[in-house]
Amino acid sequence: MRTWRVGTFTMGAALLFLGVLLLISQFADYSLYTVMLSWWPALLIILGIEILLFLFVQKKENAFLKYDLLSIFIVGLLGTAGIGFAILSSTGVMGKVEAAMNKEERSFELPEYSSSMDSNIKRIVVNTAGYPLTIETSASKEVSIFGTYRTQTSTGEKLLESASDYVTAIEKGDTLYLNMKRLPSGAWPFDSYSTLEAALLVPDDANLDVAGVDSELSLKPRVLLGNWTVDRASEVSLHLDSRSDIKVTATNIQNLAGKDELWSVGDSETKGSDEDGTVRNAVYQTGEGKHSIAISNAFRVNLEGGR
C-alpha cells in the first residue's frame, strides 16, 4: 500500500515557485511586497493539485493518507503571511508603507498666482497660514505670488498643480482677501510634511493687512504709497530705504533688533516697555512719515537699512 504524505509536495513546489519569483525580481526590479502579493495564491493552486493527485492515486493504488505536519505548518505560515499582505493591500496600508519607504524630500516651484487689481480694490488682506512670506511693492496694478515649496514624495510628482492648490483669492467690495492654504501632510505613522516660501508683490499704493499667524515675514516696501498693518507674526524683518517716507510703529513687541538705536521707544505719555522687556510702543520714521507700517503682537522686529 502506498503512503501519500499531504503537504510535502505543496511545500516543495511553493518554495521552488517563490525562489524563482525572487530570482526574477532581482532583474525585473520587483519589490518584496509585489512578490508576496502575487505569490501566495499559488499555495492554494498547488495544494489543490496535490489533493486532486491524491484522490486520483487513491482510486488506482488504494493509497494511505498521512499528513506531513512540518510541511503543513510551513505552508500555513507562508500562506498566512501572503494573506496578511493581501488584506493590508486591500485596505491601502501596504501602498502607504511602500510609499513611505521610498519617500524623498524635493523642492518645486510654486505655480504662480497673478491677478490684475480692479480700480475699485483699495485694500488687500493676507492670511499667511504660518508660512514664511516676503512682501514687496510693485508699480504695476497686479498682485502676484511665486516662490518654492518642499515636500516628501515617493513618485517625484508635483504636489501642487495650480495656484488654487495653495491660495484662495476672494474679492468683497473694495477688498481682496488672499488666504494661504495649509499644504497636505500625512498622519502618524506615515508622517510627512510640506512647506513653502513665497513672495507676494502688491501695488505700491494698496493698503495691506497681514495676519501673520506666527510666521516669519520679510517686508521690502521700497516705494510705499499706502498703509500696511501686520499682526501676530513671529518675526518681522524690515528692509527700508533711507529715501522712503514711512512711519513704522511697533506695539507689544518682545524684541527690537537690528538698528535698535534708530527706534524711538515710548513717549512722554506712554510707557515704552514692560518689566519683562516687552516693548509696548516704539516708532521709527523716515522722511515725513506720510505712509505707515504698523506692527503689533510680534515676537521680534528686526530693522535693516534706514538712515
Q: What percent of the chain has pLDDT over 90?
A: 37
DSSP 19-48: HHHHHHHHHHT--HHHHHHHHTHHHHHHHH
How high is the pLDDT of residue 256? 86
Residue, of 206 and 61, whose pLDDT is higher? 206
Share the mean pLDDT of the chain: 80
How high is the pLDDT of residue 222? 82
Task: Mean pLDDT check: name the lowest of 26-40, 44-58, 171-185.
Answer: 26-40
**What is the band of 272 on the pLDDT scale with cuts at 50, 70, 90?**
very low
How high is the pLDDT of residue 271? 39
**What is the band of 270 on the pLDDT scale with cuts at 50, 70, 90?**
very low
How high is the pLDDT of residue 268? 35
How high is the pLDDT of residue 223? 85
d(CA 112, CA 23): 48
d(CA 13, CA 15): 6
Task: Mean pLDDT check: name the lowest of 34-38, 142-146, 151-155, 158-162.
Answer: 34-38
How high is the pLDDT of residue 299? 93
Residue, of 234 and 38, whose pLDDT is higher? 234
Q: Which of 94-121 are b and which e, b meaning 16 or more Cβ less than 10 Å from the residue's Cβ?
A: bebebbeeebeeeebebbebebebeeeb
d(CA 160, CA 166): 7
Exposure of 159 in the CB half-sphere (CA atoms within 13 A): 25
Residue, of 109 and 92, whose pLDDT is higher? 109
pLDDT of 150 strictly over 50: yes
Exposure of 253 in the CB half-sphere (CA atoms within 13 A): 29
**Residue 12 and residue 76 in contact, taking contact as beta carbons nearer than 8 Å:** no
Task: Mean pLDDT check: name the lowest of 44-48, 211-215, 242-246.
Answer: 44-48
Q: Within 10 A of 77 (CB to CB), how many other CB atoms are there? A: 10
**Residue 168 and residue 182 in contact, taking contact as beta carbons nearer than 8 Å:** no
What's the average model confidence in pLDDT over 37-55?
71
Amino acid identity for residue 201 in this structure: L
Q: Within 10 A of 90 (CB to CB), how many other CB atoms are there? A: 9
Residue, of 121 and 2, whose pLDDT is higher? 121
Between helices 32-39 and 8-28, what is the axis angle to 10°? 150
**What is the band of 42 on the pLDDT scale with cuts at 50, 70, 90?**
confident
pLDDT of 88 strictly over 70: no
**What is the band of 33 on the pLDDT scale with cuts at 50, 70, 90?**
low
pLDDT of 220 strictly over 70: yes
Q: Within 10 A of 158 (CB to CB), how many other CB atoms are there? A: 14
pLDDT of 1 strictly over 60: no
d(CA 106, CA 158): 9
- Cα end-to-end distance, the chain, whole Å: 108
pLDDT of 169 strictly over 90: yes
**Cα 231 versus chain centre, distance:** 25
How high is the pLDDT of residue 5? 64
How high is the pLDDT of residue 50? 72
Dihedral sign for Cα atoms in the order 43, 49, 52, 56 = negative
How high is the pLDDT of residue 278? 75
pLDDT of 25 strictly over 80: no
Max distance between CA atoms of the chain, in angstroms, equals 115
Name the nearest CA neighbour of 167 among 177, 181, 146, 151: 181
Give me 219's grid cell: 517686508
**What is the band of 155 on the pLDDT scale with cuts at 50, 70, 90?**
low
3-state secondary structure (DSSP) of residue 114? strand
**Residue 144 and residue 124 in contact, taking contact as beta carbons nearer than 8 Å:** no
Please write the tens of the pLDDT for every residue from 172-189. 999 999 999 998 775 555
Question: How many residues belong to the chain?
Answer: 307
Q: Following CA atoms 68, 70, 74, 79 in sequence, which dihedral angle do they give, to the nearest 10 degrees?
A: 40
**What is the band of 229 on the pLDDT scale with cuts at 50, 70, 90?**
very high
